[in-house]
């Protein structure tokens, strides 16, 4: 994986003009340390680019109910604070940068990744969605869908309002919390499908295992997971 790259595709001169005005009013900042950037095409300052916690050759881990899970970065240091701004402080536009990192991770570790029939995600419960106003994993899935051309499909419903996993210390408690948390979305066509399931962070794997149990019971043929980050403790 490269150390940094543009978070924006080639753009027209009008869009470039609009972006110049935006940059004047709201100077672009490093997505990790928030230092003001000289080059708005790069989401990272040189210092953060040099010490990005890419997972590299440790991007892949196996699961019980999913075939494997790929993660672009380790959940550590400034990345953790950046993700908190994304998830809890309405920096929703980070999804386009995170999504590009995830897409690069997928391409690097799974050259045949366009075989997937669709991209899906582990959804928030309705109360949490209404409170937060956006579904952070869906936004990541949307970004990877746009970059890959793979269709985005809603396949799961979160039917149990669980405590935030990030605040749940015990691994046993995490597994207990997510048990029965998801069900198949009515009308979701998962039988025989190869599904790329996306989530923001994998820690114990409990959330993705439970979501994949539901999809597997629904007849999914292949389940590969893709997350932005993985716990550094795994």
Q: Interface residues with Zn ion (CB under 5 A)? A: 30, 32-33, 35, 45, 48
- Which two three-digit tokens encode residue 213? 């149990």
When the beta carbons of 30 and 214 are compared against Zn ion, the nearer one is 30
CB of 31 to Zn ion, least distance (A): 8
CB of 88 to Zn ion, least distance (A): 20
When the beta carbons of 28 and 63 are compared against Zn ion, the nearer one is 28
What are the Cα distances from residue 206, in Å, to 22, 24, 122, 154, 170? 41, 44, 12, 20, 12
Residue 154: strand, helix, or coil: coil
Beta carbons within 8 Å of 70's beta carbon, 6+ residues apart: 59, 60, 105, 106, 109, 110, 224, 225, 226, 227
CB of 39 to Zn ion, least distance (A): 12
Q: CA quadruple 127, 132, 133, 138: dihedral positive or negative?
A: negative
Residue 60: strand, helix, or coil: strand
When the beta carbons of 62 and 89 are compared against Zn ion, the nearer one is 89
When the beta carbons of 72 and 119 are compared against Zn ion, the nearer one is 72
CB of 34 to Zn ion, least distance (A): 7
CB of 135 to Zn ion, least distance (A): 27
Report CA dihedral (82, 87, 93, 97) to the nearest 10 degrees: 50
When the beta carbons of 47 and 170 are compared against Zn ion, the nearer one is 47
70 phi and psi angles, rounded to 5 deg: -110, 140
């Amino acid at each position: 994986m490269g150390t940094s790259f543009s978070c924006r595709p080639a753009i027209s001169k009008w869009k470039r003009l609009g972006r110049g005005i935006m940059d004047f009013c709201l100077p672009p900042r490093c997505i990790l340390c928030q230092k003001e950037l000289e080059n708005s095409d790069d989401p990272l300052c040189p210092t953060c680019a040099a010490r990005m916690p890419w997972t590299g050759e440790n991007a892949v881990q196996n699961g019980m109910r999913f075939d494997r899970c790929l993660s672009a970065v380790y959940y550590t240091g400034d990345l953790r604070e950046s993700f908190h701004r994304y998830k809890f402080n309405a920096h929703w536009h980070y999804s386009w940068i995170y999504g590009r990192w995830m897409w690069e991770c997928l391409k690097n570790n799974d050259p045949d990744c366009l075989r997937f029939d669709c991209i899906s995600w582990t959804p928030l419960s309705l109360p949490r969605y209404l409170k937060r106003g956006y579904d952070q994993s869906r936004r990541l899935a949307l970004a990877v869908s746009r970059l890959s051309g793979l269709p985005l499909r809603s396949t799961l419903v979160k039917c149990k309002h669980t405590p935030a996993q990030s605040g749940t210390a015990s691994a046993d408690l995490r597994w207990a919390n997510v048990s029965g948390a998801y069900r198949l979305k009515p009308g979701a066509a998962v039988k025989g499908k190869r599904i790329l399931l996306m989530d923001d962070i994998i820690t114990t794997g409990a959330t993705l295992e439970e979501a994949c149990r539901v999809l597997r019971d629904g007849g999914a043929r292949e389940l590969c997971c893709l997350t932005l980050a993985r716990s550094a403790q795994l």
